[in-house]
């Protein structure tokens, strides 16, 4: 989507190093409905705790919906057609696809919805999302539950960074020039949202894989 998308797009409330943020895009009732839809995803494809390429357990728990799921183990980072248990990933909920359509203005649907769960103390190191075939497509994320500090760096590793707190219902898009910026989650603020019964934070990232 280096070209103009086929449908009009909303204006982001905040633009940080080319990363677009739509604060409060989802109202609390829509957030609660999405959490219910995600319960079905997790029932079919339970959370697992991936290892990095270097054999270190990640603190975030993950699962996916869609034609592909993102997995990480000693063999590296990649997309797979099946959950580690061998079952196919469940479909991406319509409530999630609707956010992608409204915000990206694209006709192409995402192939993967990666679901990350952050319990208290979980975080995610600075990384680029670069396992997809075509960086012309954006990556969109939806935050649900406890607030988290999202750090944005540069396309090259290192250098100065800036951070922003993401709250429940916020949507973020990394596309265009910002598609390959390094980013990560410093920390989650426990007890900052009542959306998830057991606390913690869910982050969904939607990607076009191939």
Residues lying near ligand MD6 in the complex (CB under 6 A): 116, 124, 129, 139, 141, 150, 172, 174, 183, 185, 203, 205
Dihedral angle, C-alpha 22, 132, 119, 29, nearest 10 °: 40
Phi, psi of 178 (to 5 degrees): -95, 5
Return the SS3 of 111. coil
Question: Does residue number 132 form part of the binding site for Fe ion (CB under 5 A)?
Answer: no
Residue among 45 and 62 whose Cβ is closer to ligand MD6: 62
Tokens of 41: 């995803």
Minimum CB–partner distance for residue 51 and ligand MD6 (Å)? 17
Q: What is the C-alpha separation between 119 and 41, in angstroms, rounded?
A: 18
The stretch among 28-36, 48-56, 74-82, 128-136 that binds Fe ion (CB under 5 A) is 128-136
By C-beta, is 67 or 123 nearer to ligand MD6? 123
Give me the least distance between CB of 86 and ligand MD6, in Å please: 26
CB atoms within 10 A of CB 208: 22
Quote the CA–CA distance of 103 and 185 in Å, as a whole number: 22
To the nearest whole angstrom, how small is the minimum distance from the Cβ of residue 53 to ligand MD6?
17
What is the contact surface with Fe ion in residues (CB under 5 A)? 129
């Amino acid at each position: 989507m280096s070209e103009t998308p086929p449908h009009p797009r909303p204006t982001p409330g905040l633009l940080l190093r080319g990363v677009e943020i739509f604060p409060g895009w989802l109202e609390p009732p829509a957030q609660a409905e999405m959490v219910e839809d995600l319960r079905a995803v997790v029932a079919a494809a339970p959370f697992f705790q991936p290892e990095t390429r270097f054999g270190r357990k990640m603190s975030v728990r993950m699962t996916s919906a869609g034609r592909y799921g993102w997995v990480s183990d000693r063999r590296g980072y990649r997309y797979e057609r099946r959950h580690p248990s061998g079952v196919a990933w469940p479909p991406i909920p319509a409530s999630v696809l609707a956010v992608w359509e409204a915000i990206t203005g694209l006709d192409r649907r995402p192939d993967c919805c990666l679901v990350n769960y952050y319990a208290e103390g979980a975080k995610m190191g600075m990384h680029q999302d670069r396992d997809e075939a075509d960086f012309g497509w954006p990556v969109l994320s939806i935050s649900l539950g406890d607030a988290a500090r999202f750090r944005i760096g540069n396309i090259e590793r290192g250098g100065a960074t800036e951070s922003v707190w993401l709250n429940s219902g916020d949507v973020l898009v990394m596309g265009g020039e910002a598609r390959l910026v390094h980013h990560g989650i410093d920390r989650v603020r426990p007890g900052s949202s009542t959306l998830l019964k057991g606390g913690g934070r869910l982050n969904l990232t939607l990607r076009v894989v191939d």
